Amino acid sequence: MSGETAKPSPGPVYLVGAGPGDPGLLTARALELIAEADVILYDRLIPSSALEGARPDAELLFVGKQGGGPSVPQDQTQELMIQRAQEGKSVLRLKGGDPFVFGRGGEEALALRELGIPFEIVPGVTAGVAASAYAGIPVTHRGLSTAVALITGATEKQAQPDWRALAAFPGTLVFYMGIGSLSQIAAGLIAAGRPARQPVAVVENGTLPRQRVLTATLADIAERAEQEQIKAPAITIVGEVAQLAGELEWRREGLLHGRTVAVTRARAQASGLARRLAELGAEVIQAPAIRIEPLPGPPLDPSPYDLICLTSPNGVDALFDRLAAGGRDARSLSGARIAAIGPGTAAALASHGIRADVVPPRFVAESLAQSLRDLKIERALIARAAEARDVLPDALRAQGAAVDVLPLYETVAQPLPQQTLQAAANADYITFTSSSTVRFFVQSAGRTAENAQGLLSPSTRIVSIGPVTSQTLRDHGLPPHVEAHPHDIDGLVEALLAQARGQADA
């Protein structure tokens, strides 16, 4: 190894709370740090979209519990964190809820302090308070409770709690990690003097679309939770405030409440669709079967063209990269008319300061070609994916234009873990937003067009974004149940909702 002198100064390490699950409860500071970090060590109970804003080259290390299995041991996690920090990387340790509330953040901070590695703590919204609030339960309430205690319910791992002290606590008791020991908790509290008729609420998957709230009394909560098969993560709220759950219930159940929807488009593009679906109450299964890879190429000089066609938001971003590579910006496009295939592409252009001159009424190449029919075009540039249909170039050439096709990016397969594939194949709905999502999803499942039939569960509804994707689906023996109108994300969400309403009425 080389000398000690070149060692970068480590840290700071950020110990950050990610909130209880609803991505809206991530703090502004957490989002800022996620966007900057070189390395992110994250737990299981963080919002599923929390890492979307991470740098594409960031190292993302999962250190939580896999399924019901064992967690990465705490000392191994700390070792990783310290090692990366000592390499001079900016390290973010992202935890569910608040890092200092049953999050072992204190231990990690002590280990860092011991080694002289600077750290910063970013508090998070803790589950005990947030899940209560999402269930309509104020943990303190004038006249009902003047104090709140946060308690670990993981009794088996440590000495029996002091039931007498807990029962005598003058306020609300909020138990974390208590589902496995609910009957001991209830019995312990009753034996030590809490009234058996005291209200109790259990909030499972608090703040998430699949949140469930169960209210009962100390006497029967354990039995009820067993009946309802309540599972972790859940918090248990013991106290008079729990009776407000019914009265203050405020979350509207979205139309897709309780439904699972698989999203197969590239992770980088899926966030808008995933967020819309989650807002409607769906549980979103991210199954990105494709990934967008920019193609290398020389800087672009757009001056020879009097028409430039963009066929996707990816193409727009890549086009501006190629312009920038030659020291150019949006001004260099002033000599050309700009056509966008649909509103998503037009919006991507707008974010670069360009208003598209042409957006066709239907968002497919045929419609764009139609919209350009009456223009006098000498030389056109079509900036697009490596693999795409030739409808547009052919149509423009037929109009007498010289056409250059510039492949800017390619869509490549993103292998999916077995677990993800299975979840997607059994979802209530699966969405396909391009032909490549169909092809690569099928490929990822180890199938081909010939034997893709039966890949999805018979109850899974297939939602297609438009006619081209639908044809690809049919070619794979997976005819869509619904097709979006218009052929964009809004249309897709609408189509899915219509299908869900239809099923609800049926």
Residue numbers annotated as active site: 43, 65
**Torsion from C-alpha of 294, 297, 298, 299, nearest 10 degrees:** -10
Minimum Å distance from CB 350 to ligand SAH? 37
Q: How far apart (Å, rounded) are the C-alpha atoms in residues 155 and 144?
A: 27
Minimum Å distance from CB 161 to ligand SAH? 15
**Phi, psi (deg, nearest 5) at residue 77:** -60, -45
For position 96 contacting ligand SAH by CB under 6 A, the verdict is yes
Q: Applying CB under 6 A, what is the total number of residues that bind ligand SAH?
A: 24
Please list, residue by residue across 165-182, b when 16 or more beta carbons sit within 10 angstroms of its beta carbon and e when fewer do. ebbebebbbbbbbbbebb
Q: How far apart (Å, rounded) are the C-alpha atoms in residues 320 and 297?
A: 13
Length reported for the chain? 506
Among 13, 16, 45, 339, binds ligand SAH (CB under 6 A): 45
Q: How far apart (Å, rounded) are the C-alpha atoms in residues 94 and 381?
A: 45
For position 209 contacting ligand SAH by CB under 6 A, the verdict is no
Nearer to ligand SAH, 206 or 342 (CB): 206
For position 369 contacting ligand SAH by CB under 6 A, the verdict is no
Q: How far apart (Å, rounded) are the C-alpha atoms in residues 505 and 427?
A: 20
Minimum Å distance from CB 325 to ligand SAH? 45
Mark residues 228-267: x for contact with ligand SAH by CB under 6 A, - for none.
----xxxx--------------------------------
3-state secondary structure of 187: helix
Q: How far apart (Å, rounded) are the C-alpha atoms in residues 488 and 262?
A: 17
Among 42, 176, 305, 409, binds ligand SAH (CB under 6 A): 176
For position 95 contacting ligand SAH by CB under 6 A, the verdict is yes
Q: Which stretch binds ligand SAH (CB under 6 A): 96-104, 164-172, 373-381, 489-497?
A: 96-104
For position 409 contacting ligand SAH by CB under 6 A, the verdict is no
Distances (CA, A) of 266 to 285, 414, 460: 13, 8, 21
Nearer to ligand SAH, 48 or 414 (CB): 48
Helices (H), 73-136: 74-86, 105-114, 127-134
Residue nearest to ligand SAH (CB): 97
Among 20, 288, 466, 480, binds ligand SAH (CB under 6 A): 20
Among 13, 23, 34, 98, binds ligand SAH (CB under 6 A): 98
Find out whether the peptide bond into 294 is cis, omega within 30 degrees of 0: no
**Phi, psi (deg, nearest 5) at residue 405:** -100, 125
Distances (CA, A) of 397 to 383, 385, 468: 15, 19, 22
For position 133 contacting ligand SAH by CB under 6 A, the verdict is no
Q: Which stretch binds ligand SAH (CB under 6 A): 227-235, 244-252, 294-302, 383-391?
A: 227-235
Q: How far apart (Å, rounded) are the C-alpha atoms in residues 427 and 377?
A: 47
Q: Which stretch binds ligand SAH (CB under 6 A): 95-103, 253-261, 299-307, 498-506?
A: 95-103
Minimum Å distance from CB 173 to ligand SAH? 13
For position 93 contacting ligand SAH by CB under 6 A, the verdict is no
For position 206 contacting ligand SAH by CB under 6 A, the verdict is yes
Q: Which stretch binds ligand SAH (CB under 6 A): 108-116, 123-131, 342-350, 426-434?
A: 123-131
* Tokens read off for 431: 């969405």
Minimal CA–CA distance to 282: which of 261, 263, 253, 307?
Answer: 261
For position 207 contacting ligand SAH by CB under 6 A, the verdict is yes
For position 23 contacting ligand SAH by CB under 6 A, the verdict is no
- Chain positions contacting ligand SAH, by CB under 6 A: 20-21, 45, 95-98, 101-103, 126-127, 131, 176-177, 203, 205-208, 232-235
